[in-house]
Amino acid sequence: MLRDVSPKVLRKRRSAAALIALLLLVVFQVVALGGDNPTPETVVEQQVLSESAEGLEIATEVLDTLEVKGRAPKTGYSRSQFGSGWANIDGCDVRNLILARDLTDTEYGSDGCVVLNGLLDDPYTAAEISFVRGKDTSDDVQVDHVVALSDSWQKGAQQLDKSTRTEFANDSLNLLAVDGPANQQKGDSDAASWLPSNKSYRCRYVARQIAVKRKYSLWVTEAEKSAMQRTLNACKDQPLPLTTPASLLPSGARNTASFLATSGLTSPLLSSSYLDTPRSTTPGRTKISSSVESGATVGT
């Protein structure tokens, strides 16, 4: 546990982890781009669902680096400002890629993309939810924008260009498969007005929001920062999520990237999930988490 390590040793470990993560990110970019001059569309596609290599940074420390400002007007906001729905990666939409990442015991359609059913260990409610695709059942599990699109619009996203907002809306760092009713209850709330009912997940939830806001240069309100600080008081050593680009993970440990490969798709873009425990293995699909996330344990 991080709390058992001296501050001096922890700082050294953080520095080493951050350096390794940076080197991995550079190598990943070189491999992915291959020295070519990609089109703007290719750049966006290569960034979609990519995880940031944050290093073992402590959430409370990063929170203190975020700008604190009042909420801007919602004027001009629409879902289309963040792209036309879910992005498509080599023939598979982001919603199904996230379901494939977060669910276990999954069954797929003949195209190898559409998730027909599976089990969700819901982080927001701690309930186990059986997902069955269908007109009346698909919404039982929804894909949440951890930092809601509307909230981000009022806290800096309207100043981003359209391609960056599209990346934001499809970035797996900001996406979780969750209980549908809990997601509807959350709406576009920030941490000041909504936290998961599953208290053991709150530290990780807030840490993820902080990581997203730092990545996209979004600010927090005073009330939001205070709520985050209160949550993190119970887990002062809570780190930000840390993942490795999937193309650099050992074969068989690539989670969603493994799903793409076994589906006959070729995209090298997807990195590992932020789940806390190894995922189950189903025939033909290795579901292994390679995240580093400690602690106790589809937004608008």
Whether pTM > 0.85 for this model: the answer is no
**pLDDT of 34 above 60:** no
pLDDT tens per residue across span 225-276: 999 999 999 999 999 986 544 444 333 333 344 433 333 333 323 333 333 3
pLDDT > 50? residue 287: no
Q: Identify which of 192, 201, 194 has the alpha carbon closest to the alpha carbon of residue 220.
A: 192
pLDDT in tens, 43-53: 333 333 333 33
pLDDT of residue 20: 47
Q: Is 26 helix (H, G, I), strand (E, B) or coil?
A: helix
DSSP string across 136-185: TTGGGEEEEESS-HHHHHTTTGGGS-HHHHHHHHH-GGGEEEEEHHHHHH
> Which among 14, 44, 45, 53 is positioned nearest to 249, based on CA atoms?
53
Integer Cα distance of 177 and 62 in angstroms: 25
What does the mean pLDDT of the chain come to? Answer: 74
C-beta of residue 224 within 8 angstroms of C-beta of residue 205: no
- Do the strands 104-108 and 92-93 form a parallel or antiparallel pair, or are they unpaired? unpaired
Q: What pLDDT score does 46 carry? A: 32
Q: Which residue has the higher pLDDT, 157 or 296?
A: 157
Give yes or no for residue 2 having a pLDDT over 90. Answer: no
pLDDT at 33: 38
Contact 124, 195 (CB under 8 A): no
Residue 282 β-bridge partners:
285
| Banded pLDDT at 158 (limits 50, 70, 90) | very high
| pLDDT at residue number 1 | 38
Phi, psi of 88 (to 5 degrees): -115, 125
| Residue 189, both tokens | 């709330």
Share of the chain above pLDDT 90, in %: 60
pLDDT of residue 241: 87
CB atoms within 10 A of CB 159: 12
Collapsed DSSP state (helix, strand, coil) of residue 116: strand
Per-residue model confidence as pLDDT tens digits over 189-226 = 999 999 999 999 999 999 999 999 999 999 999 999 99
Q: Does residue 11 surpass a pLDDT of 80?
A: no
Q: Give the pLDDT score at 243.
A: 52
- The closest alpha carbon to 260, from 98, 86, 116, 52, belongs to 98
Give the closest residue to 80 by CA, choosing from 153, 178, 156.
153
Q: Cα–Cα distances in Å, from 58 out to 95, 137, 146, 238?
A: 29, 39, 19, 6
pLDDT digits (tens, 9 = 90+) for 61-110: 999 999 999 999 999 999 999 999 999 988 899 999 999 999 999 999 99
* β-pairing verdict for 175-179 and 115-121: unpaired
Q: How far is Cα 104 from Cα 119, in angstroms, rounded to an integer?
A: 5
**pLDDT value at 165 more than 90:** yes
Domain ranges of the chain: 2-262
For 285, the 3-state DSSP assignment is strand
Contact in structure between 222 and 245 (CB atoms under 8 Å): no
Which stretch of 47-56, 113-122, 182-191, 223-232 has the lowest confidence by average pLDDT? 47-56
The pLDDT score that the predictor gives to residue 293 is 32
